[in-house]
Amino acid sequence: MKTIKGPGLFLAQFAGDDAPFNSWDGITKWAADCGYAGVQVPSWDARFIDLDKAASSKDYCDAFKGKAAENGVEVTELSTHLQGQLVAVHPAYDEGFDGFTVPQMRGNPKARQEWAVDQVKKAISASRNMGIGALASFSGALAWPYVYPWPQRPAGLIETAFDELARRWKPILDHAEENGVDICYEIHPGEDLHDGVTFEMFLERVGNHARANMLYDPSHYTLQCLDYLDNIDIYADRIKMFHVKDAEFNPTGRQGVYSGYQSWVNRAGRFRSPGDGQVDFGAVFSKLTANDFDGWAVVEWECCLKHPEDGAREGAEFVRQHIIRVTERAFDDFADGGTDEAANRRMLGLS
């Protein structure tokens, strides 16, 4: 068994135009002051990282990591959640997702997708230059408008969508293989990879690609009423990243999973700060540890009630308390009488 690393913090939810959240130097100092040992970096945020330079220059990456280390934190992973989303976008969401790209690509879905693919590949190269073996991403979605089958889905619709999704991602996964980097898809509503079944549908179509892996986030499973602990056992070999995010699901006689288009605070299912929701993180950390997960426990703070800075500081301590320092010996070793093969045979009554 291995000890999980942490605590880490995903910086995307904290980036802003005011200090200390508007610069790499400022936000890494702040994260360390909150008690974090590592930070996960949104690769699209130019206030923190120049992705073009990171993809092409190891010297730049060394200086980037060096500044973080000087301020007391390690770079855990890069994230391409926004760019990965744009690898596959159903036309119904074109305008909504245009804000995820640079202004010159907006209104041009083909150019936007090509830009997104290039961005994810650059983040893979940057990860290699930083000596990091995992990259966070979304899969994007072509089939999501049809998630609930009304009207009845035409035969082959979903299969065609997943064939195309795999076709778009296969060259990116091959680039990841060449660079020794796992792409960890966050299994997430709004993505075609939103549960175990859809992940397996994708995995089959990319030939069980070794670099197609999972970012495990139990909050999204809680809101789907999916068994988030069983999921760890099923996909232990594919879970390469971990977001510590809590959630609660409180259905009523008026609303359930779909939550009636309500705001976050009024939904039946809503995200909470770590420890304030319903996820059994003691069991989650135990399962991950027993299954030899040796990545980072990264807080992705999202809460409909609590102030983000309070959530960040509490999250660091929450993770620290849940990380299990693995044992190097069995608890009952004190009772070991010492045996050898001959003694074993005698105990079994074998001559």
pLDDT by residue (tens digit) across 280-308?
999 999 999 999 999 999 999 999 999 99
According to the model, what pLDDT value does residue 282 have?
98
- Residue 95: pLDDT band (50, 70, 90) is very high
According to the model, what pLDDT value does residue 343 have?
85
pTM of the model: 0.94
According to the model, what pLDDT value does residue 346 have?
86
Strand partners, 177: none
According to the model, what pLDDT value does residue 6 have?
96
- Residue 332: pLDDT band (50, 70, 90) is low
Q: What is the mean pLDDT of residues 19-28?
A: 98
Task: Flag whether pLDDT at 87 surpasses 90.
Answer: yes
Residue of 191, 50, 57, 217 lying closest to 125 (CA atoms):
57
Q: What is the mean pLDDT of residues 192-215?
A: 98
According to the model, what pLDDT value does residue 338 have?
72
14 touches 54 (CB < 8 A): no
Q: What is the mean pLDDT of residues 184-205?
A: 98
Task: Flag whether pLDDT at 342 surpasses 90.
Answer: no
According to the model, what pLDDT value does residue 11 have?
98
Which tokens is 173 given? Answer: 């996964």
Tracing tokens 């995992």 back to the chain, one arrives at 134
CA distance 286 to 280: 10
Task: Flag whether pLDDT at 53 surpasses 70.
Answer: yes
DSSP secondary structure string, 207-267? TS-TTEEEEE-HHHHHTTT--HHHHHHHTTTTEEEEEE-EEEE---SS--TTGGG--GGGS
* pLDDT > 90 fraction of the chain, expressed in percent and rounded: 93
Tracing tokens 């879970």 back to the chain, one arrives at 239
- Residue 54: pLDDT band (50, 70, 90) is very high
> Domains in the chain, start-ordered, CATH in brackets?
5-347 (3.20.20.150)
According to the model, what pLDDT value does residue 329 have?
72
Task: Flag whether pLDDT at 340 surpasses 90.
Answer: no
pLDDT by residue (tens digit) across 132-174?
999 999 999 999 999 999 999 999 999 999 999 999 999 999 9
According to the model, what pLDDT value does residue 211 have?
98
CA distance 9 to 56: 26
Which residue type sits at 212? A
Residues contacting 89, CB < 8 A, separation 6+: 97, 109, 112, 113, 140, 141, 142
